[in-house]
DNA sequence: TTGAAAGCGCTAACAA
DNA sequence: TTGTTAGCGCTTTCAA
């Protein structure tokens, strides 16, 4: 019989099995986009970890579009995924999803009211951002600008808050004229940086001294920032020091190499699997892991190499 | 009744439906990795196009690992996806997948013997690579090196062949000492470029003139190449001109901006959906679209800006 | 037009 | 231990 099975290439029908068992051994992952290196790395880590533990990962790109988020969420629920992971930037994490009911959810971002019984793993973006700014302050910078994301996700807000925390802690300026927001893309970073640093962009002569350093809240945007500085004839790190957030692999190969606050996506993915698979298989309680910190990968864009 | 349905948040069970109908309105996508910007853009385009046409896309990252490819392929077949798209670099495209049977397959790469009745959309990588080299020749370069991928996928081989074609057409050197292969990553590009251009890497004094231009077969690797040139004190494009292949969004924000051969991933994704959905819904015949060409996006790494 | 019934392929419970 | 059966929730067919 076994031979016949092998010979005919028989394969069990996963639907029938899932229909009967009520479980599909799959999880859904909702993520805004795979284009920013950091999210791509996160997605890949999650896929690898869950696959290794026997789950199929179904990924949906939401493009920051609330309609798409809801459609994809429904689609995943309809397919009876065992759980859904919401990556940072998916707004369903902060307001209740319709039809979520007793769907198992793990949010990788600060969760708002509306969802209960949701697990979460929360990076302390605020402290991370402040830490990055402190590093710049350690190099003697006083006036530090911020290139951030224009999406109003919790992470974006927290990074800006952290930037402000560090500045206010030493009594430095932290006004809106030092903050520029744009797309999470190289172009977005380029445009924002131009706006902040170009003599035509902001009348620094009137408003005070121009920034000598920047916190850029994503690595892709930092690419654009470097490009903008280069075009403006500003040398990094001598004229402008830069620290970015993300810690993607290619951040070490920019000119100059970026100093970047790295989030350990592998660790986050592993923890996600621990929490979620415990909930799925052992009916474990929802858990939240908060205060996850990144670590600073030193390049030379911050000025550490100077001298 | 309708009210009750809406009120209770009833949702049909996709499994039961799929089980009964024998179709799941979903397709699988196997892709080596999402880390190289070009493949991430391709994956996103495919997801968007198929989603818009009512199909759920289940993506699996194979990491260039044959075992993973086969496991994921099986997993997709078990879930009765209506079709499977094989991205470039998935070796199942070139040798038959076990248990493929009458699974609908679309390969985005030249397909080998073993599979029959497989649709495909094939970019003419060879001509594209040759065209990129010709552009460099048009700038007067004679000795042109090549930074390629060490994976032995058909696309990699074709790009190298195209590089050689263009060189041999004008009787230029095209020897192995001008070719360096590495990982499809910034680091891979950095290492390969160091090997090609560093005075310590290759004894040019003995073997002849050092290259004055490079064809780099992916944008991520080009990042590393630029970084390596910068470190070696070589100015791009004055000392070394560079053209890369891919055409990702961030290629315009490197220093200097890359001249890159762009593949229109959106077009490829749209065509994929046309072919595949026709096969799924109208029992259309497998089709192959060959000779798809990219177009050169002019930056300044090739020397076009030199004034 | 509306309603009842059969069955997709599997698993879990039960009977032998 | 091994074999049999009921039923997961839907869609399709057929009868009323």
C-alpha span between B132 and A140 (Å, rounded): 46
A249 vs B58, B185, B255: nearest CB: B185
CB A122 within 8 A of CB A109: yes
Q: Which residue is nearest to nucleotide D6 (CA to C1')?
A: A20
Per-residue pLDDT tens digits for A54-74: 899 999 999 999 989 988 998
Average pLDDT over residues A15-35: 88
DSSP state of B299: -
Minimal Cβ distance to A253: which of B9, B56, B223:
B223
Choose between A226 and B10: higher pLDDT: A226
Does A79 contact B186 at a Cβ distance shorter than 8 Å? Answer: no
Distance in Å from C6's C1' to A15's CA comes to 19
Question: CB neighbours of A192 closer than 8 A, spacing ≥ 6?
Answer: A147, A148, A180, A181, A182, A221, A224, A225
C1’ C3 / CA A78, Å: 27
Per-residue confidence (pLDDT) for residue B281, from 0 to 100: 85
Residues B17 and A19 sit within 8 Å (Cβ to Cβ): no
Chain B residues in contact with A186 (beta carbon < 8 A): 249-250, 252-253
**CA-closest candidate to residue B110, choices B294, B296, B289:** B289
CB A163 within 8 A of CB A172: no
Distance, CA of A155 to CA of A67 (rounded, Å): 21
SS (H, E, C) chain A: CHHHHHHHCCCCCHHHHHHHHCCCCEEEEEECCCCCHHHHHHHHHHHHHHHHCCCEEEEEECCCCHHHHHHHHHHHHHCCCCEEEECCCCHHHCCCCCCCCCCCEEECCCCCCCCCCCEEEEECHHHHHHHHHHHHHHCCCCCEEEEEECCCCHHHHHHHHHHHHHHHHCCCCCCHHHEEEECCCHHHHHHHHHHHHCCCCCCHHHHCCCCCEEEECCHHHHHHHHHHHHHCCCCCCCCCEEEEEECCHHHHHCCCCCEEEECCHHHHHHHHHHHHHHHHHHCCCCCEEEEECCEEECCCCCCCCCC
Q: Which of the four pLDDT bands, split at 50, 70 and 90, describes residue A27?
A: very high
Q: Searching chain A, which residue's CA lies closest to the CA of residue B62?
A: A48
Mutate to test the interface with B, among A185, A250, A297 (most CBs of B within 10 A): A250
* Minimum CA–CA partner of B222 in chain A: A253
Indicate yes or no: CB of A187 within 8 angstroms of CB of B257: no
Strand C–CB A16 distance below 7 A: yes
Q: How far is CA A158 from the centre of its chain?
A: 12
Chain A residues whose beta carbon lies within 8 Å of the beta carbon of residue B61: 44, 47-48
Distance from the A115 Cα atom to the nearest Cα atom in chain B, whole angstroms: 17
Nucleic strand C contacts from chain A, 19-48, CB < 7 Å: 19-21
Does strand C come within 7 Å of the CB of B19? yes
Q: CB neighbours (10 Å) of residue B305?
A: 13
Q: Give me the pLDDT at residue A195, please.
A: 93
- Cβ(B123)–Cβ(B263) under 8 Å? yes
What whole-number distance in Å separates Cα of residue B242 and Cα of residue B259? Answer: 7
Per CB-CB distance under 8 Å, the chain A contacts of B255 are 226-227, 230, 254-255
pTM: 0.92
How many C-beta atoms surround the C-beta of residue A166 within 10 A?
24
Chain B residues within 8 A of A219 when measuring between CB atoms? none
Contacts (Cβ under 8 Å, ≥6 apart) of A221:
A147, A149, A182, A183, A184, A185, A186, A188, A189, A192, A244
CA distance A195 to chain B (A): 16
Q: Of A19, A44, A75, which is closest to B15 when you measure between CB atoms?
A: A19
Say how far B19 CA is from D11 C1', in Å. Answer: 10
Query: B6, B9, B34, B265: best mutation site toward chain A, by most A Cβ within 10 Å?
Result: B34
Give A59's contacts in chain B (Cβ within 8 Å): 58-59
Say if residue A196's pLDDT is above 90: yes
Whether the beta carbon of A54 falls within 7 A of nucleic chain C: the reply is no
Taking only the tens place, the pLDDT of each residue in A232-291 is 999 999 999 999 999 999 999 999 999 999 999 999 999 999 999 999 888 888 999 999
The answer to whether residues A301 and A243 touch, using CB atoms and an 8 Å cutoff, is yes
Cβ separation A78–B13 shorter than 8 A: yes
Please check the confidence at residue A205 and state whether its pLDDT lies above 50: no
CB contact under 8 A, B254 and A43: no
pLDDT averaged per 10 residues, chain B (length 307): 65 83 88 90 95 92 91 88 93 65 84 73 96 98 96 92 97 92 96 89 61 96 97 94 96 97 97 94 88 96 80
Nearest to B44 among A9, A34, A230 (CB): A34
**B207 by DSSP, 3-state: which?**
helix
Q: Does B59 sit within 8 Å of A59, measured CB to CB?
A: yes
Using C1' positions and the CA of A11, the closest nucleotide is C9
Cβ-contact A245, A159 below 8 angstroms: yes
Residue B286 contacts residue B117 (beta carbons within 8 Å): yes
Cα–Cα distance between A32 and B149 in angstroms, integer? 29
**Straight-line distance from CA A72 to C1' D16, in Å?**
41
Per the prediction, chain A carries an average pLDDT of 89
For the CA of A242 and the C1' of D16, the distance in angstroms is 78
For chains A and B, count residue pairs whose Cβ atoms are closer than 8 Å. 147
CB contact under 8 A, B56 and A41: no
Closest residue in B to A258 (Cα–Cα): B227
Helices B125-138 and B154-169 pack at an angle, to 10 degrees, of 40
- Chain B contact set for A63 (CB, 8 A): 48
Q: Residue B168: how many CB atoms within 10 A of its CB?
A: 12
Q: Cα dist. A183→A121, A152, A186, A192 in Å? A: 25, 11, 8, 9
Pick from A125-129, A222-226, B200-204: least confident: B200-204
**DSSP 3-state assignment of B258?**
coil
Cα B229 to Cα B242: distance, rounded to the nearest angstrom: 10
**A14, burial (CB in 10 Å: exposed 0-12, middle 13-18, buried 19+):** buried
B22: the nucleotide nearest its CA (via C1') is C8
Mutate to test the interface with A, among B8, B11, B40, B51 (most CBs of A within 10 A): B40
Burial class (CB in 10 A: 0-12, 13-18, 19+), A258: buried
**Residue B154 · residue B109 · CB < 8 Å:** yes
């Amino acid at each position: 019989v076994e031979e016949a099975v092998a010979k005919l290439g028989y394969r069990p029908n996963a639907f029938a099995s899932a229909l009967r068992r009520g479980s599909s051994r799959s999880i859904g992952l909702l993520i805004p986009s795979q284009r920013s290196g950091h999210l791509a790395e996160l997605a890949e880590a999650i896929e690898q970890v869950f696959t290794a533990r026997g789950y199929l990962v179904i990924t949906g790109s939401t493009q920051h579009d609330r309609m798409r988020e809801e459609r994809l969420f429904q689609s995943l629920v309809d397919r009876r995924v065992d759980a859904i992971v919401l990556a940072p930037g998916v707004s369903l994490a902060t307001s209740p999803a319709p039809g979520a009911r007793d769907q198992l959810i793990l949010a990788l971002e600060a969760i708002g009211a509306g969802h209960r019984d949701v697990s979460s793993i929360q990076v302390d973006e605020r402290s991370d951002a402040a830490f990055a700014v402190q590093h710049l302050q350690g190099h003697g910078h006083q006036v530090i600008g911020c290139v951030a994301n224009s999406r109003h996700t919790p992470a974006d807000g927290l990074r800006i808050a952290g930037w402000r925390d560090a500045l206010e802690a030493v009594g430095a300026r932290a006004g809106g004229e030092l903050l520029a927001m744009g797309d999470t893309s190289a172009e977005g970073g380029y445009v924002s940086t131009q706006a902040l640093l170009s003599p035509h962009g902001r009348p620094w002569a009137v408003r005070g001294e121009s920034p000598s350093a920047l916190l850029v809240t994503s690595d892709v945007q930092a690419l654009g920032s470097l490009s903008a500085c280069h075009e403006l004839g500003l040398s990094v790190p001598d004229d402008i020091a830069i620290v970015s957030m993300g810690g993607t692999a290619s951040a070490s190969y920019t000119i100059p190499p970026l100093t970047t606050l790295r989030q350990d996506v592998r660790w986050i993915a592993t923890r996600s699997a621990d929490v979620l698979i415990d909930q799925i298989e052992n009916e474990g309680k929802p858990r939240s892991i908060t205060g996850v910190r990144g670590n600073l990968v030193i390049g030379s864009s911050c000025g550490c190499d100077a001298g």
